[in-house]
Every structure is written in structure tokens, then in C-alpha cells.
């Protein structure tokens, strides 16, 4: 036997156990010596020894099993007593008391008897709580008849006895059920109250007299006195929705009556003052009474409309002609065959409808063509400005004024020449988009594209021909007949200068002043200048040759008259940059100004 197992033996039995084990060992050795001295083979001795050990173990097992059976019998007795206690607790609907530990059989039986005595004290308390919850449930369901009554689960005890009192779970469930009924009633009341209030407000707002039973309940019975069933709440909601829909329909009728009256007033040319007098108190108030009055007015003015239908047809015919004339087609509006046939039958609503449809179509087309008409008006204005400039160019006295009129004329011409192609391009772009779906646009009996082509044919095709459209700043050359001998006397010139000063067009030329000596030869170099052998290259050109520049010295200065001749001979479509340079040249120190063209 190992020392560890020896330690498991209780101390009080340890010596006896050691003694027993020593005796067993001595007996086994003695028995082995006997069998060996008797000449028994070792194999048989081994079998006998193993059989002996098995027999000893079986004896120990038998002893242990007998003791276990005795203990189990005692446990069954205790369990039966506990079952009786459990049955009593289940019948009285109380929780099973907790059994103390370390009790023998007799102590357990005494504990069961003590616990059974405590059960009766709890029974009265549970019954009182149960009956109180049932009473509250009944009161709540009296105003909510579609509520569910709580039913206690019916079950049997362990001995087959029907359970009549609720346990703790049943009481908690019943308490929760009563609380849920109370909350549900409050929710339904809060849901019903706004329905009743809204329905009463709708009926009052429409001036409606209750006719249905639900409408009478809504108008007379407060929400607290209603039976809060889902069916009643649904009926109240449906009644509210029906009243809301009825109000919407009433508003639609009211709006329709006002619109119909407006059309009748427009057709009959009723003044604004008369309209306000007729519709006093009927516009903002939307009740059955106001709608009835509006219907009476509609019926009255319908009779007047039928009596004045012929004059209204004439008015529409004139309006169609005006809308057609606004399209600038160039001819008068021709009535379609169907309208002619209706005219033969006399004035009718169908004829009025046809005229109104024609007016609507013409106005829609005019709205689409409005941007084009604005562009055409702008083009005509630019062409008129160009014509005025051409007339002003023929004036022989245009060069006598040096106050800037010619410069303003040049700027005006440049602006016209710049904006006119842009406007024409926008017109063509609009036509490209519009004519794909609507066909060719005709203005004053002629297609617009044809007029644009005619204007293009009238334009000059060369620079020499375009020179006549420019506005020179001064006369090209001085007449040969003007000589120093035939020049105007100084007195006359003085009178001329005084007149120009009074007119505000005289510009005084300041006298020249002396400056320092000329700088070095490098100062005479202006910079990059184009040579006459160069060819101008456009930004999109693919030419291989690049512009080359050379540095040159200052050329001799030219006269102001020659400079004006060069400016007047250039095309006004090209920009002219005038660069003013000042350099000191010569021993005299005179300052010469030069203007170079690029």
C-alpha cells in the first residue's frame, strides 16, 4: 500500500488498518509457502493467488452494497416526507421552504413538520392580493369591452389535485396584465380625443349639420364617455377622414366656383369694384352656405354669358389676330376650315374653345421665338447705326471739327462692326436649334436665313472695297491749291481758334522744349520690329517658318499729315497700336516724337 493511500485512512483506524494489512501479508506468504512445499507448480499458485484476491474484493463489494441499500432506504423515507411537504406547498401556492443542510433523517422529518405549519399564514395574504387585482381588471374592462380577461393557468399538483390559487408567477402576470390594460385604455383615450376634437372642428368649420349617428356621437359625446373599443376608434378615425375629405371637396368646389366666376367676369368685362362687391364675405369663408351662394352667382352669370356669347367670340377673334401679328410673319391670320364651319353654325362654346386653343398655341410659339425677336431687334438697331454712320461719312464738313467727333464716330463704327457678326451668329445658332423641330422661321414674309444671306452678299469682299466704310480721323491729303500764298490770314486763324475755344473743341499744342544730348547708339535701338519681308502668322497656322525680327535704328520722323494719311488708308477692322517714343537726336537737342505701326 502506498503511503499516499495510507494517509486517506482515518487516524483513529490507522493502527488497526496497518495491523490488518500486516496480517493479510503474513497469511498470503504463509499460504504461498504451503503451496510451494506441496509441489504445486508456479502457474497454479499464481492462479490460486489471483482467485483469492478476487474473492476478497467481492466480499468487500458485498459489504459496501449492503450498506448502500440501507442508506438508500433511509433516503426514500426522507424523500417521501419532502414530497408530502412539496404537495402541501403546491396546493397552498407558496414557495417550497429551503431545507437546511447536515440533517439526518429524523431531523429532516422534524423540519418538514415545522415548515408545513408556516404555510397557512401565507395563504390569506395571497388570496387578498388576487381578489384585489381581479376587481381592478373588471373596472377597467367596463369602458373597454374588447379587452381580454386574464385567465389563470389550470394545472394539477404532483398528486393530481387541481390547483385553485395562483402562484407568484401568476400573481406577477395578473399584475402586469392589469397595468397593461390601464395603459392601453389611456393610449386609446389619447388617440380618440384628438379624433373627436378634429371632427368637431371640421364640422364647425364647414358649417355641417350632423346627419349620421357617428357624427352625432362626435359632436355630442365627450371622449371620456366613449366605449374605448378599437372598433369605435376606427369609426371615429374614418369619420374624421371622411370629414377631412369632404372639406377638401368643399374647398375644391369653392375654388372651382371662384375660378368659374372669374372666367365669367372676364368674359363679361365685370369691373374689379363690382367683383369685390359681389364676392364680399364669399372668398375666404369656405362653408356650405358660401358655396351655395357662389353656385347661385355662377348660375346667374352663366345666363348672362350665353346672352353675350357673340360679342365674346368677336373679342377672341381680334385677340387671335393680335397674337398672330406678334409673330411678325408678315400676313394676316387665316381662320381654319373647322372654325369657319363653326362660325356658320353660330356662336358656341366649341367655337370659343377653338379660339382659345389657337391663342394658346400662338402665345406658346411667341414665347419660344421671343429670344429670336430680341436678337433681330438688336440686329436692326446695329444696321440702323451703320446706316447713320454712312450718311455722316458723306457730310463734307465732317473734318472741320477737331473736338473728338470723328474719334467717337470711329469707336461707334468699330463697336457696330464687332457686335453685328456676333448677333448674326447667335441668330443662326438659334435657328439651327429651333428649325429642326418647328420648321423654317419667316419674318415679314421672308425666311430669316435668306435675309442673312442677302446681307452677306452686300458686304465688301476686299480690303480696298472696305476702305469706304472706315472713318478717317482727318482729310487724306491737303489740297494742292492751298499754298502759303492762299493760306488763311493770321487774323482769320485767330478768330477760328477763339471760336473753337468757345465751342470747347480747341486743343492747344504745347511748344517743343530742349532736352539733354542724345544717348549712345544703343539708345537709338527701339527693339524688335517686323521687317517688310515677314509674313504674319495666325495662332492656328501650321507654317514652319517663324517670324524673325531685326534690330534697327531710329528712322527719320514723319510728318503728322503723312501719319494721318496712313491711318485713314488702313482697314478699320484691324487694330492700330500707336507707340510713342521720345529720343534726343542731333546737336541742337531737339526732341522728336515718333509713332510706329505694328
Distance CA 287, CA 583 (A): 95
Decide if pLDDT at 585 tops 80: no
* Residue 293 and residue 432 share a domain: no
Total-model pTM = 0.42
Residue 425 lies in a domain: yes
Tell me, what's the pLDDT at 553?
Answer: 45
Decide if pLDDT at 500 tops 80: no
SS3 call for 594: strand
Structural domain that includes position 581 = 512-538+546-597
Residue 480 lies in a domain: no
* Residue 262 and residue 202 share a domain: yes
* Residue 368 and residue 446 share a domain: yes
| Residue at grid coordinates 444696321 | 383
Q: Band the pLDDT of 132: cuts 50, 70, 90.
A: very high
DSSP state of 539: T
Q: What is the pLDDT of residues 425-460, one digit of tens each?
A: 999 999 999 988 888 888 888 888 888 888 777 766
Per-residue pLDDT averaged across 349-360, rounded?
A: 87
SS3 call for 410: helix
247 contacts: CB under 8 Å, gap ≥ 6? 202, 205, 206, 286
Phi first, then psi, for residue 531 (nearest 5°) are -90, 165
- DSSP line for 231-259: HHHHHHHHHHHHHHHHHHHHHHHHHHHHH
Residue 254 lies in a domain: yes
Q: What is the pLDDT of residues 267-306, one digit of tens each?
A: 888 889 998 988 888 888 888 899 999 999 999 988 888 8
Q: What is the pLDDT of residues 367-411, one digit of tens each?
A: 999 999 999 999 899 989 888 888 887 877 766 665 677 788 888
Residue 22 lies in a domain: no
The angle, 0 to 180 degrees and rounded to 10, between the axes of the packed helices 213-220 and 230-268 is 100
Q: Band the pLDDT of 597: cuts 50, 70, 90.
A: very low
Question: 551 pairs with which residues across the strands?
Answer: 528
Per-residue pLDDT averaged across 304-327, rounded?
A: 86
Go through 480-501 and write b for each residue having 16 or more CB atoms within 10 A of its CB, e for each that does not.
eeeeeeeeeeeeeeeeeeeebe
* Residue 364 and residue 452 share a domain: yes
Counted domains in the chain: 3
Q: Which of 30-34, 109-113, 247-251, 529-533 has the lowest mean pLDDT?
A: 529-533
| CB-based contact 223:179 (threshold 8 Å) | no
CB-CB neighbours of 42 under 10 Å: 9
Decide if pLDDT at 149 tops 50: yes
Distance CA 67, CA 498 (A): 157
* Residue 322 and residue 301 share a domain: no
Q: What is the mean pLDDT of the chain?
A: 75
* Residue 383 and residue 278 share a domain: no
Q: What is the pLDDT of residues 411-431, one digit of tens each?
A: 888 888 899 899 999 999 999
| CB-based contact 320:334 (threshold 8 Å) | no
Distance CA 74, CA 96 (A): 22
Distance CA 224, CA 143 (A): 9
Residue 242 lies in a domain: yes
Tell me, what's the pLDDT at 46?
Answer: 87
Per-residue pLDDT averaged across 161-189, rounded?
A: 86
Tell me, what's the pLDDT at 204?
Answer: 87
Per-residue pLDDT averaged across 219-229, rounded?
A: 80
Distance CA 133, CA 189 (A): 22
Cell digits of residue 364: 406658346
Could you say which of 449, 469, 489 is where a domain stops?
469
Between 465 and 64, the more confident residue is 64
Could you say which of 469, 501, 520 is where a domain stops?
469
* Residue 353 and residue 448 share a domain: yes
Amino acid at each position: 500500500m502506498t503511503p499516499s493511500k495510507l494517509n486517506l485512512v482515518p487516524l483513529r483506524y490507522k493502527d488497526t488498518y496497518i495491523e490488518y494489512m500486516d496480517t493479510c501479508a503474513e497469511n498470503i506468504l504463509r499460504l504461498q509457502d504451503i503451496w510451494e512445499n506441496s509441489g504445486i507448480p508456479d502457474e497454479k499458485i499464481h492462479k490460486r493467488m489471483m482467485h483469492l484476491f478476487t474473492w476478497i474484493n467481492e466480499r468487500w463489494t458485498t459489504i459496501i452494497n449492503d450498506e448502500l441499500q440501507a442508506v438508500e432506504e433511509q433516503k426514500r423515507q426522507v424523500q417521501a416526507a419532502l414530497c408530502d411537504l412539496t404537495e402541501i406547498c403546491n396546493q397552498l401556492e407558496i414557495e417550497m421552504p429551503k431545507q437546511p443542510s447536515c440533517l439526518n433523517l429524523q431531523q429532516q422529518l422534524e423540519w418538514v413538520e415545522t415548515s408545513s405549519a408556516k404555510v397557512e399564514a401565507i395563504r390569506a395574504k395571497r388570496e387578498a392580493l388576487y381578489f384585489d387585482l381581479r376587481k381592478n381588471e373588471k373596472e377597467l374592462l367596463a369602458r373597454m369591452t374588447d379587452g381580454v380577461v386574464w385567465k389563470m393557468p389550470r394545472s394539477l399538483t404532483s398528486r393530481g389535485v387541481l390547483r385553485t390559487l395562483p402562484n407568484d408567477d401568476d400573481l406577477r402576470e395578473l399584475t402586469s396584465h392589469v397595468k397593461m390594460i390601464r395603459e392601453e385604455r389611456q393610449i386609446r383615450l389619447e388617440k380618440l380625443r384628438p379624433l373627436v376634437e378634429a371632427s368637431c372642428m371640421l364640422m364647425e368649420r364647414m358649417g355641417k349639420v350632423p346627419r349620421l349617428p357617428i357624427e352625432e356621437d362626435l359632436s355630442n359625446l365627450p371622449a371620456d364617455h366613449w366605449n374605448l373599443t378599437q372598433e369605435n376608434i376606427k369609426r371615429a378615425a374614418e369619420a374624421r377622414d371622411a370629414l377631412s375629405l369632404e372639406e377638401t371637396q368643399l374647398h375644391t368646389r369653392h375654388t372651382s366656383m371662384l375660378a368659374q366666376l372669374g372666367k365669367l367676369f372676364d368674359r363679361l368685362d365685370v369691373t374689379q369694384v363690382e367683383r369685390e362687391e359681389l364676392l364680399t364675405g364669399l372668398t375666404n369663408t369656405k362653408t356650405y352656405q358660401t358655396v351655395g351662394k357662389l353656385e347661385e352667382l355662377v348660375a346667374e352669370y352663366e345666363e348672362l354669358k350665353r346672352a353675350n356669347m357673340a360679342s365674346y367670340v368677336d373679342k377672341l377673334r381680334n385677340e387671335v389676330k393680335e397674337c398672330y401679328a406678334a409673330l411678325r410673319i408678315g400676313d394676316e391670320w387665316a381662320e381654319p376650315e373647322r372654325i369657319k364651319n363653326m362660325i356658320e353654325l353660330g356662336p358656341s362654346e366649341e367655337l370659343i374653345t377653338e379660339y382659345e386653343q389657337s391663342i394658346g398655341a400662338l402665345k406658346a410659339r411667341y414665347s419660344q421665338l421671343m429670344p429670336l425677336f430680341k436678337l433681330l431687334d438688336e440686329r436692326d438697331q446695329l444696321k440702323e447705326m451703320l446706316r447713320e454712320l454712312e450718311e455722316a461719312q458723306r457730310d463734307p464738313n465732317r473734318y472741320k471739327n477737331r473736338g473728338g467727333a470723328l474719334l467717337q464716330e470711329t469707336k461707334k463704327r468699330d463697336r457696330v462692326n464687332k457686335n453685328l457678326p456676333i448677333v448674326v451668329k447667335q441668330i443662326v445658332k438659334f435657328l439651327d436649334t429651333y428649325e429642326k423641330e418647328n420648321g423654317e422661321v419667316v419674318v415679314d414674309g421672308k425666311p430669316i436665313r435668306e435675309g442673312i444671306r442677302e446681307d452677306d452678299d452686300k458686304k465688301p469682299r476686299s480690303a480696298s472695297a472696305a476702305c469706304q466704310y472706315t472713318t478717317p480721323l482727318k482729310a487724306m491729303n491737303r489740297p494742292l491749291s492751298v499754298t502759303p500764298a492762299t493760306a488763311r490770314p493770321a487774323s482769320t486763324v485767330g478768330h477760328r481758334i477763339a471760336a473753337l475755344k468757345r465751342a470747347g473743341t480747341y486743343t492747344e499744342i504745347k511748344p517743343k522744349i530742349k532736352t539733354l544730348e542724345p544717348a549712345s547708339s544703343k539708345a537709338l535701338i527701339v527693339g524688335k520690329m517686323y521687317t517688310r519681308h515677314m509674313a504674319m502668322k495666325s495662332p492656328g497656322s501650321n507654317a514652319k517658318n517663324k517670324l524673325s525680327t531685326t534690330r534697327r535704328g531710329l528712322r527719320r520722323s514723319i510728318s503728322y499729315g503723312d501719319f494721318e494719311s496712313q491711318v485713314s488708308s488702313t482697314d478699320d477692322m484691324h487694330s492700330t497700336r500707336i507707340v510713342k517714343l521720345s529720343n534726343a537726336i542731333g546737336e541742337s537737342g531737339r526732341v522728336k516724337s515718333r509713332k510706329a505701326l505694328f
